[in-house]
Homo-oligomer: A and B are copies of this chain.
Amino acid sequence: MRKLNVLVAQYPNQDAVFRIVPARVEAAIARAPASLPPLEFSWCATDDPAFGERATAADAMIGFRFPTDQIKRPGSALRLIQVAAAGIEHLLPLDWLPRSVALATASGVHAPKIREWAAMVLLMLHSRMPHFVTAQRAHQWSKAYSSHIAGRSALIVGTGGIGGSIAAAAHGLGIRTTGVRRNIRPTRHFDAVIGLQDLNDAVASADFVVLAMPLTPTTRHIVNADLFGRMKPEAGFANFGRGGLVDQEALRAALVAGTLGGAIIDVTDPEPLPPDSPLWDAPRLIITPHLSCDDPESYVPRTLDLFLDNIRRRVEGRPIRNRVVRSRAY
């Protein structure tokens, strides 16, 4: 059996935590089932002039950011691209993607970490931590009481890998969960599931509104001044998805006006948030630098396990996991 060629696409300035280094690849191969076909791994920087040639000569590729215009070539061997992230909005539109190539996300890889982070964020919103942090900046000893979190309600927009983990965390705290998803169907960890068309009504009764959906042309600024205006005045808002889902000026205005209880966001638009952005100083807002899902110990190993499983599935002609559906763009 010939060895399959696997390329690791390395983009410049990547955080060391996310680097797919030989030792991690070897460890993942050692963990994989014996039915894994023989693989030959190689590495190429995405700004290497030979990148396109290397990528299309490989059978499978793993990476995050890469020059998509170099992927389509006659006679390309490439059949699988594994993206090492839950979101692929930076690769849209998908007009560069050959029909012969399956594109897969790393959805689900973040589950264990996101569950802990989500429990923390829900408890922080409930306990008025955004208020206390803002009061501290002003040297103010300002009490704001909270009772038990159990019995509160969370509206979670997006029911995929990350949304499901947030719902699991909410359930663990006794919070009632409503999920918003494209295709309405019973979903694990959600007490109720509604469609996107019912979002406007549903936000009015939620104690917590949490974003965990992909950024696509349809979902851009889905949370805007109108939606903030429909939320409870004491509601807590969190964004685990992408910064572009939110009209940030509307978020800031709702916080300044006091019509929103508090917010904790892990994503901004753009990233990094520029030093002169007024968002840094918005009251009752806590910003973390896009790492709520990232476990430095497990992220790369879990992504590699998924990638190797998808290589096997591709070779055996079975459906791959987390395959991006072109028409919905995630």
Question: Which chain A residues have a beta carbon within 8 Å of chain B's beta carbons?
Answer: 15, 17, 112-113, 116-117, 119-120, 123-124, 126-127, 129, 132-133, 135-137, 139-149, 173, 271-273, 275-277, 280, 286-291, 294-298
Report B-chain residues with C-beta under 8 Å of the C-beta of A145: 17, 291, 294-296
Copies of this chain in its oligomeric complex: 2
A130 to B256, CA, bound (A): 23
Of A275, A286, A288, A289, chain B has the most CB atoms within 10 Å of the CB of A288
Q: Are B132 and A124 in contact (CB under 8 A)?
A: no
A126 to B148, CA, bound (A): 22
Q: Are A277 and B139 in contact (CB under 8 A)?
A: yes
Report B-chain residues with C-beta under 8 Å of the C-beta of A149: 116
A237 to B143, CA, bound (A): 22
For residue A329, give the distance in angstroms from its CB to the closest CB of chain B.
27
Of A113, A116, A140, A173, chain B has the most CB atoms within 10 Å of the CB of A116
A287 to B297, CA, bound (A): 30
A124 to B124, CA, bound (A): 9
A133 to B277, CA, bound (A): 16
